[in-house]
Chains A and B, each alone.
Chain A
């Protein structure tokens, strides 16, 4: 599904040069649920943006769904982001002047093919993430967890095979974060979506089925994981 091969990226030049990704290589199969964990500033977001085609300035090769994206023109990358990839961000990135449903349907504007009934599909997706009846609400009227649900519904709008989630629980309290993770887990297990999730929280990472540790632009470990059931751990009051 995703193949990252010897990808490097540097910011700035001369003395101010910082290598953010150092020769990163990585294979992810369809249907995986991968957590990338690392300290702040280790280059996780950068890697995710490279994979998602939001960042074109890198060296090395990246393929998504068998298509090499390095060197792809911007219009093709945009189409790929629209049809094959869903993004979920820490800051939700909802548009406050639109309703929840309009936010969810936003990708339809840039879709190469007309979405028949975008509004109805948006409402259905909102129901699927547990937000029935809130489709006409404005993001300002929603809680953090609800906002992130809207954002997830939006990422699903064009039926992508791949979700890229950058600290999706970073702005949420622990309980809400776990609820969001349960949605991801369902999407992965029931719908077979491939999920790559960046986080710096250990208990969130442990809910994935594979954990990649990232440090200073390099992968330091890459292990399969038996997903924990966070709800039980929460009940026991266990800390990470």
Chain B
């Protein structure tokens, strides 16, 4: 029997047994619908959590820490160093898009400010790190001042307003007595008596979320000034200024006893910023480290962030960095992996539920098909009489199961997709904003559709296998004689 003939015969049978066919397909439609729904949901949530919450594409490489008698010590035995050379090595790993180093201040610092917001200046420990400014150029649209190192602009490209070429071929501000002598937003530095641009700084959005979500609420019951901290918005904070003292804080002073003061201005919020503290253009940090703690501390980075081209490449890159290069990854990576695993697990559990639906559907198909072949035994026997082999009969029944799988599977895919759109609609219209709220909870990919069709076919075949064999083993002689 040729393939074309088989299809014709299958279509004839389906036309004839339309009702049974529809009844059998309902289970498949429901099963495949839920399977696709949960698979796409799992993938979608995975995307949101890993890409937006954990920014899994970015690996933060740190120096390995050695566990010595319960103390974590970093690089005690002169482990591998994070410097420009290391950054170049990382840049050459396959699948890496960009590499950017981060440097922390290597001495105690503090910052004073907040009068405009809180009514009174407050002192705080300043934790700061630096990143290459190019990294955030795109996300910072219209910053109050440009996020860059204003104190090392080469004269060749022409100096900005209010600056002129100074020694070392670097632009410097003019000398001044008070802020009025300087072109805003520059200010007059009290000790150095020259106009300076405030250091542009970035803050992590998470910091604000933590402040608004917990600190402000918890402090509301406290006595005194901290008892009425206002809720803050990103907008209200941008442009906020503080006076930083590098090299001195409540906790201590720098070894060299050197102090440098600078005005700091908040210019934006970024995921690339340090979680608790301020992030500045890396040039400032390098210079400050060199001046306060010595040249050596300005050459080594504290971490190097490696951004992968795709999520799939992350694991390979992580492995290369850890196993071959001997570095460690920040705990964020492990947390992301843990979260990913959890989501995968939940997805699998829900998919298991869909598979149970499908198993029930397969049993239903088996029952229906057994009933149908019993009803059609005369027809099948006649086919045998006019030349059908038992194999032909098997193929016919399995062919009907295939059609059932394709049609039920397609309908199931459509239903699953439609329900997901409806859920997204509910999410958009009925659910209030929450951190990292995505536009869609689902992520559909071609392999899911193909997989769902495959699964539909598989379960239909499983259900039809026994009926197909029964049908092929029927004795035509007895049936045709009406016995």
Are B385 and A75 neighbours in the complex by a CB distance under 8 Å? no
Are A93 and B12 neighbours in the complex by a CB distance under 8 Å? no
Are B382 and A93 neighbours in the complex by a CB distance under 8 Å? yes
Q: Which residues of B lie under 8 Å from residue A74 when comparing CB positions?
A: 389-390
User: B157 → chain A, closest Cβ, in Å?
Assistant: 81
Q: Which residues of B lie under 8 Å from residue A52 when comparing CB positions?
A: 385
Are A82 and B386 neighbours in the complex by a CB distance under 8 Å? yes
Are A97 and B12 neighbours in the complex by a CB distance under 8 Å? yes
Known: A55-B477, A78-B388. A109 touches B1 (CB 8 A): yes
B210 within 8 A of A: no
Are B390 and A81 neighbours in the complex by a CB distance under 8 Å? no
Known: A54-B477, A54-B480, A97-B12. A110 touches B385 (CB 8 A): no
B8 within 8 A of A: yes
Q: Which residues of A lie under 8 Å from residue B224 when comparing CB positions?
A: none
Are A78 and B2 neighbours in the complex by a CB distance under 8 Å? no
Choose one: B2, B386, B388; the contact of A87 (CB below 8 Å): B386
Are A81 and B385 neighbours in the complex by a CB distance under 8 Å? yes
B116 within 8 A of A: no
User: B309 → chain A, closest Cβ, in Å?
Assistant: 54
Beta-carbon contacts of A97-113 to B below 8 Å, as 1s and 0s?
Answer: 11000100011111100
B379 within 8 A of A: yes
User: B115 → chain A, closest Cβ, in Å?
Assistant: 89
Choose one: A45, A55, A111; the contact of B387 (CB below 8 Å): A111
CA distance A55 to B475 in the complex (A): 8
B378 within 8 A of A: yes
- Which of A78, A79, A93, A98 has the most B CB atoms < 10 Å from its CB? A78
User: A137 → chain B, closest Cβ, in Å?
Assistant: 16
Choose one: A54, A107, A108, A111; the contact of B476 (CB below 8 Å): A54
CA distance A104 to B395 in the complex (A): 22
Chain A minimum-CB-distance residue to B392: A110
A95 within 8 A of B: yes
User: A171 → chain B, closest Cβ, in Å?
Assistant: 11
CA distance A106 to B396 in the complex (A): 14
B383 within 8 A of A: yes
From 366 to 406 in chain B, residues with beta carbon under 8 angstroms from any chain A beta carbon are 378-379, 381-392
Q: Which residues of A lie under 8 Å from residue B387 when comparing CB positions?
A: 78-79, 81-83, 107, 110-111, 158
B5 within 8 A of A: yes
User: B474 → chain A, closest Cβ, in Å?
Assistant: 12
User: A150 → chain B, closest Cβ, in Å?
Assistant: 12
User: A102 → chain B, closest Cβ, in Å?
Assistant: 8
Are A110 and B477 neighbours in the complex by a CB distance under 8 Å? no
From 57 to 113 in chain A, residues with beta carbon under 8 angstroms from any chain B beta carbon are 74-75, 78-79, 81-83, 87, 89, 91, 93, 95, 97-98, 102, 106-111
Q: Which residues of B lie under 8 Å from residue A93 when comparing CB positions?
A: 378, 381-382, 385, 480
Are B1 and A110 neighbours in the complex by a CB distance under 8 Å? yes
Q: Which residues of B lie under 8 Å from residue A79 when comparing CB positions?
A: 387, 389
Are A109 and B5 neighbours in the complex by a CB distance under 8 Å? yes
Q: Which residues of A lie under 8 Å from residue B2 when comparing CB positions?
A: 114
Chain B minimum-CB-distance residue to A11: B478
Q: Which residues of A lie under 8 Å from residue B475 when comparing CB positions?
A: 55
From 1 to 43 in chain B, residues with beta carbon under 8 angstroms from any chain A beta carbon are 1-2, 5, 8-9, 12, 15-16
User: A177 → chain B, closest Cβ, in Å?
Assistant: 19
Choose one: B9, B378, B385, B476; the contact of A109 (CB below 8 Å): B9
CA distance A89 to B381 in the complex (A): 12
From 142 to 175 in chain A, residues with beta carbon under 8 angstroms from any chain B beta carbon are 154, 157-158, 166
B78 within 8 A of A: no
B221 within 8 A of A: no
- Which of B5, B8, B391 has the most A CB atoms < 10 Å from its CB? B5
User: A76 → chain B, closest Cβ, in Å?
Assistant: 9
Beta-carbon contacts of A42-54 to B below 8 Å, as 1s and 0s?
Answer: 0001100100101
Q: Which residues of A lie under 8 Å from residue B15 when comparing CB positions?
A: 97
Are B9 and A49 neighbours in the complex by a CB distance under 8 Å? no
Q: Which residues of B lie under 8 Å from residue A110 when comparing CB positions?
A: 1, 383, 386-389, 392
CA distance A90 to B8 in the complex (A): 28
Chain A minimum-CB-distance residue to B472: A74
User: B15 → chain A, closest Cβ, in Å?
Assistant: 7
B482 within 8 A of A: yes
Q: Which residues of A lie under 8 Å from residue B480 when comparing CB positions?
A: 54, 87, 89, 91, 93
Are B389 and A106 neighbours in the complex by a CB distance under 8 Å? no
Chain A minimum-CB-distance residue to B9: A109
B481 within 8 A of A: yes
CA distance A98 to B383 in the complex (A): 13
CA distance A81 to B329 in the complex (A): 74
- Which of A46, A82, A95, A109 has the most B CB atoms < 10 Å from its CB? A109
Rank and list the top 4 A-B pairs by shortest CB-CB distance, nearest first: A82-B387, A97-B16, A110-B387, A49-B477
* Chain B residues packing against A (C-beta within 8 Å): 1-2, 5, 8-9, 12, 15-16, 378-379, 381-392, 475-477, 480-482
* Chain A residues packing against B (C-beta within 8 Å): 45-46, 49, 52, 54-55, 74-75, 78-79, 81-83, 87, 89, 91, 93, 95, 97-98, 102, 106-111, 114, 154, 157-158, 166
Q: List 23 A-B contacts (CB under 8 A).
A: A45-B481, A49-B477, A49-B481, A54-B384, A54-B477, A55-B475, A55-B477, A75-B389, A78-B389, A78-B392, A79-B389, A82-B386, A83-B387, A91-B480, A93-B381, A95-B379, A109-B383, A110-B383, A110-B386, A110-B388, A110-B392, A111-B387, A114-B2
